Amino acid sequence: MADDCPVFDGLYDFCSMYTGASLEGAVKLNHNCCDIAINWSGGLHHAKKFEASGFCYVNDIVIAILEMLKYHPRVLYIDIDIHHGDGVQEAFYLTDRVMTVSFHKYGNYFFPGTGDMFEIGHESGRYYSVNVPLKEGIDDASYNQVFKPVIEAVMEYYRPTAIVLQCGADSLSGDRLGCFSLSTKGHGECVSFTKKFGVPLLVVGGGGYTPRNVARCWAYETGLLVDTDMPVEIPYNTEYFQYFAPDFSLHPEVITRQENGNSRQYLEAIVKHVYDNLRMVQHAPSVQMQDVPLDGCTIDDQENELDPDSRLHLSEEDKRVEPDNEFYDGEKDNDKAEDNDVTSSTNRN
């Protein structure tokens, strides 16, 4: 274990919980229990098979993707953490079953030091690793100038049947370790854009070292993923409310500490490079028939856990969908005593 991955009390439980959550998300997606699964505690993309690295002990993303590969021929991994998603790239460097696409700061010995645009994969995995190395200070407009065309092209060429999106929040402006200038809205735009393709999606967290901004970013992105408009003002009864001073807003002001080092020409050159490589991917790879291993975990059968003394549990009530042609209670009720004549009963049929 390196200096940045100390052993601490409860480490085993910590790893089990965040990895188990990503794994369960993958299993639920595999069985069509949901369209989008979210695990903000996951996304520890630096961990390697034999090495903990960069605050990451177990690579929950790799484990979740391996689970998804039992049911999906092609999984796309997208990484918008400021650091290169080296652990995930390494795990799938030699295969065409997973395409990894990482957008990250590169250069000046920035951690972990890998992820230049010439790392494209090897053997069967050649052209299935995509790297977008960026310079410090990138803003929303520049980021979207590369993110959207790259992901659009990847979707077109690779045609993934499932996507894992790592949403590291250290790419936000004002991060303690980061040096990008993204706003929560700019970061969230990547989430909305990915969701738009309507492919089964596992969303995980990742880095983020200014906690108040991480909380805002992932709260906002949860709203985007569940199609809910969130109020901009943070509710005053929020725990840790005082941490969100002075603006108490979901969208803190963008603090630009560094000039945007990414010129339009530089970004255009990267996009062109990615296009050229994707053109080498002749068609989306398929998979031969093979034995599918058992699921990595079982989905909890909530029915068994319900309190037998309570008549209708909230989760059961939530599952209940009233058909449009159901009789009403209240104003539209056709069954009121005074209406209960021949005409209303014919209406009912």
Q: Which residues are annotated as a binding site?
A: 4, 54, 81, 83, 170, 209
Which residues from 281-300 bind Zn ion, rule CB under 5 A?
A: none
Q: How far is the CB of 249 from Zn ion (least distance, A)?
A: 24
Residue 165 and residue 78: Cα distance in Å, rounded?
5
Which residues from 226-265 bind Zn ion, rule CB under 5 A?
A: none
Q: How far is the CB of 316 from Zn ion (least distance, A)?
A: 41
Closest CA to 82 of 45, 37, 119: 45
Residue whose entry in the numeric block shows the structure tokens 């014919």? 346
Q: Note whether 168 and 80 are within 8 A (CB).
A: yes
Q: Which residues are annotated as a binding site for a divalent metal cation?
A: 81, 83, 170
Candidates 26-34, 74-82, 89-97, 250-258: pick the segment binding Zn ion (CB under 5 A): 74-82
Among 85, 115, 174, 207, binds Zn ion (CB under 5 A): 207
Candidates 11-19, 81-89, 155-163, 277-285: pick the segment binding Zn ion (CB under 5 A): 81-89
Using the rule CB under 5 A, is 195 a contact of Zn ion?
no
**CA 243, 249, 251, 257: dihedral to nearest 10 degrees?**
-50
Q: How many CA atoms lie within 13 A of 4 on its CB side?
A: 10
**DSSP-based three-state secondary structure for 151:** helix
If the CB atoms of residues 170 and 189 are measured against Zn ion, the closer one turns out to be 170
Residue 345 and residue 246: Cα distance in Å, rounded?
62
Q: How far is the CB of 309 from Zn ion (least distance, A)?
A: 47
Residue 67 and residue 297: Cα distance in Å, rounded?
9
- Burial of residue 233, with CB atoms counted within 10 A of its CB: 0-12 exposed, 13-18 middle, 19 or more buried: exposed
Among 83, 84, 104, 105, binds Zn ion (CB under 5 A): 83
Q: Which residues are annotated as a binding site for substrate?
A: 4, 54, 209
Task: Kindly state the number of chain residues that form the binding site for Zn ion, as judged by CB under 5 A.
Answer: 5
Candidates 78-86, 132-140, 151-159, 299-307: pick the segment binding Zn ion (CB under 5 A): 78-86
The active-site residue, picked from 46, 72, 84, 187, is 46
If the CB atoms of residues 43 and 125 are measured against Zn ion, the closer one turns out to be 43
If the CB atoms of residues 47 and 162 are measured against Zn ion, the closer one turns out to be 47
Residues 134-173, one symbol each (x = binds Zn ion by CB under 5 A, - = not), give: ----------------------------------x-x---
- Catalytic site residue 46? yes
Q: How far is the CB of 172 from Zn ion (least distance, A)?
A: 11
Residue 43 and residue 153: Cα distance in Å, rounded?
24
Residue 263 and residue 266: Cα distance in Å, rounded?
5
If the CB atoms of residues 176 and 348 are measured against Zn ion, the closer one turns out to be 176
Candidates 65-73, 83-91, 190-198, 291-299: pick the segment binding Zn ion (CB under 5 A): 83-91
Residues 6+ apart with CB under 8 A from 274: 117, 130, 132, 150, 153, 154
Query: Which strand ranges, in their side-by-side order, compose the sheet holding 129-134?
Result: 36-39, 201-204, 162-166, 75-79, 98-105, 129-134
Which residue is at the shortest CB distance from Zn ion?
A: 207
If the CB atoms of residues 209 and 248 are measured against Zn ion, the closer one turns out to be 209
Across the strands, what pairs with 99? 76
Task: State whether the Cα torsion 18-19-25-28 is positive or negative.
Answer: negative
Residue 195 and residue 178: Cα distance in Å, rounded?
25
If the CB atoms of residues 168 and 252 are measured against Zn ion, the closer one turns out to be 168
Closest CA to 91 of 72, 69, 73: 69
Among 24, 60, 81, 119, binds Zn ion (CB under 5 A): 81
If the CB atoms of residues 54 and 125 are measured against Zn ion, the closer one turns out to be 54
Of all helices (H) and strands (E), which one includes residue 152?
A: helix 140-158
Residue 112 and residue 2: Cα distance in Å, rounded?
13
Q: Which residues bind Zn ion (CB under 5 A)?
A: 81, 83, 168, 170, 207
Positions marked active-site: 46
